[in-house]
Amino acid sequence: MENPNNASRRNFFKTGAALGASLMAAPAFSNLSTAKEQAPKENNGLPNFTKRRTLGSGKHSLEVSALGLGCMGMSYHRSFVPDRNRMIALLRKAAEMGVTLFDTAEVYGPYVNEELVGEALAPLRKDVLISSKFGFNIENGQMAGLNSKPDHIRSVVEQSLKRLRTDHIDLLYQHRVDPNVPIEDVAGTVKDLIAEGKVRRFGLSEASSENIRKAHAVQPVTALQSEYSLMWRKVEDDALKVCEELGIGFVPYSPLCRGYLTGLINERTKFIASNDNRATLPRYQPDAIVANWAMIDVLTEFGNHRGYTVAQVALAYLLAQKPWIVPIPGTTKQAHLQENLWSAEIEFTVDELKQLTEAVSKITVVGDRYTGQSAQQVKN
């Protein structure tokens, strides 16, 4: 029997032209400074994505596309490694379609993802924003513990700038909080890098409320990047409240739960352990995938009545929570990129959002999101 989620996804693409026609009335943009002044422009028959959001506040804010692009999976941690030239083309297509925020890190590969992003975006650098991260030792091509010592931060930034083929990083995150280095020292180091023009904005990832406050007091934080999806909503209880209080934007990574919330992963899906962390994560084991299918059923039912795919409903839910939330779903396929971007056009009614929230809140998600050292690193 055909998987109804696959059918829903195909129906989305069949009706894409009709949906696209309704979107083309929105103004397109070619760069950050003239976005609102440009006339509509076609992109090989596809509408340009124009929705904008602001991360951070005041002079530390950053205007970005409503969805960014997580680039990690183009070269790391997603089993297969796609053809490099095709990923360069996809990155450039994303920028052409209106994405302005591209997310990478030195540990993705390591190094090769920054090199990929740097090569792809070099011709478009003035029109896009690049975020990267520091915070790990890398030995023999593997992560080898946390390291946010000031000298190490500076060294990482210098090397990242070379790989990214740029003279500045628009948004620099501490990848994980290092309990052995005071967060004030980390923030102070990034503050100095901002003063030197090598970094534009400061971000944290998976940081506790206490550490967010401490860092923000030294160098205002523009964005917190942490895991957030309908499969992991704990940030709604704490992190989002602190961000709202301090005027900090929020960037959900894995907003589709590493592909699960597309409805295309099932208990027979194979993950290649040598290049895919899902192979060892409890939530992606066959029993957990089956146990959590109630979430896919809810999103499918909700989306089918409104012409949305599972992935679109999942992303639209996050976007509906706060106007300063900017998810960064990753993909290696242009069709899925377009599908994800169209989720920003979805506007739930109050009753629809209430209905969806109540339905997903009844589901108990099975399986931890991390284990071992990785689990400890997201508690700092």
Q: How many residues does the chain have?
A: 380
Question: What is the tally of structural domains in the chain?
Answer: 1
pLDDT at 14: 44
Give the separation between CA 340 and CA 158, rounded to whole angstroms: 33
Average of pLDDT values for 223-240? Answer: 97
Which two tokens mark 80?
């297969």
Look-up: residue for tokens 């946010």? 148
Kindly report the CATH number assigned to the domain that includes residue 121. 3.20.20.100
Residue 35 has pLDDT above 90, yes or no: no
Q: Give the domain range for residue 137.
A: 4-377
> What is the rounded average pLDDT of the residues 30-48?
40
CB-neighbour burial class of residue 168 (10 A; exposed 0-12, middle 13-18, buried 19+): middle
Cβ within 8 Å of residue 1, ≥6 positions away: none
338-349 pLDDT, tens digit per residue, is 999 999 999 999
Q: Pick the catalytic residue: 108, 228, 253, 308?
A: 108
* Distance from C-alpha of 71 to C-alpha of 330, rounded to nearest angstrom: 6
Angle at alpha carbon of residue 276, lines to 275 and 278, rounded to 5°: 165
108 included as an active-site residue? yes
Strand 142-146 and strand 169-174: the pairing is: unpaired
What is the average pLDDT score of the chain? 89
Per residue in 167-218, pLDDT (tens digit) is: 999 999 999 999 999 999 999 999 999 999 999 999 999 999 999 999 999 9
Determine whether 5 is exposed, middle or buried from the number of CB atoms within 10 Å of its CB (0-12, 13-18, 19+). buried
Q: How many other C-beta atoms can be found within 10 angstroms of the C-beta atom of residue 363?
A: 16
Residue 53 has pLDDT above 70, yes or no: yes
> Whole-angstrom Cα distance, residue 330 to residue 83?
16
Choose among 254, 270, 251, 273: nearest CA to 262: 254
Angle CA 269–370–209, to nearest 5: 140
What's the predicted TM-score (pTM) here?
A: 0.87
128-176 confidence digits (pLDDT tens): 999 999 999 999 888 899 999 999 999 999 999 999 999 999 999 999 9
Q: What's the CA gap between 147 and 134, in Å, rounded?
A: 8
Q: pLDDT tens digits for 283-308?
A: 999 999 999 999 999 999 999 999 99
For residue 123, what pLDDT is reported?
98
Please state which of the ranges 123-127, 295-299, 334-338, 373-377 shows the lowest mean pLDDT. Answer: 373-377
Place of tokens 């506007």: 347
Per-residue pLDDT at 375: 67
